[in-house]
Amino acid sequence: MRRNTWETMAEADRVALCSRGLEAIFDEDLKQSIGRIIDDVRAHGDEAVCRAMRDWDNVSLEPHQLKATAEELEAAAVDADVDAAIDDAIAHLRAFNEQLMLRAADWSFESEPGLTVGEKITPITSAGLFVPSGKASYPSVAYQLGVPAVVAGVPKVALVVPPMPDGSGRIDPAVLVVCRKLGITDVFRVNGPAGVAALGFGTATIPQVRKIVGPGSPPVACAQVEMQRYGVATMMILGPTESVVIADDSADPRLAAADLLNEAEHGTDSAVLLITPSASLADRIDIELELQLADLPAQRAEAARAALGANGGCVLVRDLAEAAEVANRWAPEHLQVAVAPDAEAELLDLLVNAGEILIGQHTLFSGGNFVIGCPASLPTGGFAHVSSGITADTFLKRTAVARADATALARMTPTILAMSRHEGFAAHSRAASIRQERS
């Protein structure tokens, strides 16, 4: 692991450590390239979507082939253990999100005599789910996005996924199995950035949606950011993946190394950080990392070395309070706390910026990725400072509701008149005074 000591790092080095990945997403050349794809889809619809597939995925399809057929969805099958795993994961996600929905009920209260205020909570009208494919297949992303949307009650859900990287144009059967189990029938094989644009604009084949979510490569993330200019709501930002492990001398170095490699193997753009007050623990973890890296496929090992080297590494801190300070500034997608049990509660109180916090070495990242039921599509690139993971809440909106009677209006009228005069809105004032005259 690359190793730094937080106390002696220059501020510029701290900034560089914490700004991982964003330069790639907002690179000007990438923005222009993605902008051309977006403009093409806006102008030419399905034709442009098929063109992007030919240019970027080496797959030649006609517009009528973009949508997965009912027969494909019905025939899709996976090994029995994978099918059971999908059922297990969906059950946990349903349980978590159904609990959220119980807490998302309409509410109101009387804020003064005669004035009742509150909120009505409803699902958004439509959602587009982007499921990545390319480096690997991710049916887990399909259920991590699909279950919250279905539980929230979104009436129109469309899912886009790039075809498998073998040039066949096929969609991973596991993704289709997830969609079948969730009742999602609008499933499209589409290049990533073009798929995001197609969902935002709508084409003859792909329905237009109001919100698009899903993790992806820098081009996909860039496309989601750019589509905001056209009034599409997107989540900022989901990908590349990243994780932090905060560990003290009580941690098992073998398990810590395995958990660091969990997210590190995703790609050379991943970023993984160990934060510890113990240099001796870091030494022991380094030894374990070398042993475990030797067992990984070459491509995964290369990715892990980048994630723990140039992109991340180890930060030595004075104590766990400083560890929390570093973690909060880094604001990771995934955060595991591997410290002595009597230190967990105090450390948890200090941690505020993370997509998820997994407590203890039995609560492993892959458990969160696949089955625990908490959100696993989480903000990256430091956006855990201001946003959260994808849950049923992501697909809900809140509408304020108020009712005032004549007594409450009479009490509020002086405030309405004073503010109307101050801001120069005569009609605002008149709307209140005309009622005052009648009373």
Residues annotated as catalytic (active site), given as ranges = 333-334
* Residues 41, 49 contacting (CB under 8 angstroms): yes
Angle at which helices 139-152 and 173-182 cross, to 10°: 10
Q: How far is CA 407 from CA 114, 336, 414, 435, in A?
A: 6, 55, 13, 12
Query: CA torsion sign, 318 to 320 to 322 to 328?
Result: positive
* Residues whose CB is less than 8 angstroms from the CB of residue 368 and which lie 6 or more positions away in sequence, other chains included: 334, 356, 358, 374, 376
- In contact, 7 and 315? CB cutoff 8 Å: no
Tell me the C-alpha to C-alpha distance, in Å, between residue 381 and each of 17, 107, 157, 385: 11, 35, 27, 10
Nearest C-alpha neighbor of 237 from the set 370, 331, 151, 97: 331
- CA–CA distance, 192 with 133 (Å, rounded to integer): 9
**What backbone torsions phi and psi does residue 356 show, to the nearest 5 degrees?**
-150, 155
**Beta pairing, strands 211-213 & 186-189:** unpaired
What CA–CA distance (Å, rounded) separates 36 from 14?
35
Tracing tokens 């505020």 back to the chain, one arrives at 352
> Would you call the peptide bond into 240 cis, given omega within 30 degrees of 0 as the criterion?
yes
Kindly write down the DSSP assignment for every residue of 162-173, as one continuous string: PPPTTTT-PPPH
CB 125 within 8 A of CB 232: no
Total count of residues recorded for the chain:
439
Q: Rounded distance, CA 172 to CA 166, Å?
A: 11
- Residue written as token pair 């990715």: 303
Q: Would you tell me how many other CB atoms lie within 10 Å of the CB of residue 256?
A: 23
Q: Taking a C-beta distance cutoff of 8 angstroms, is the pair 367, 215 a contact?
A: no
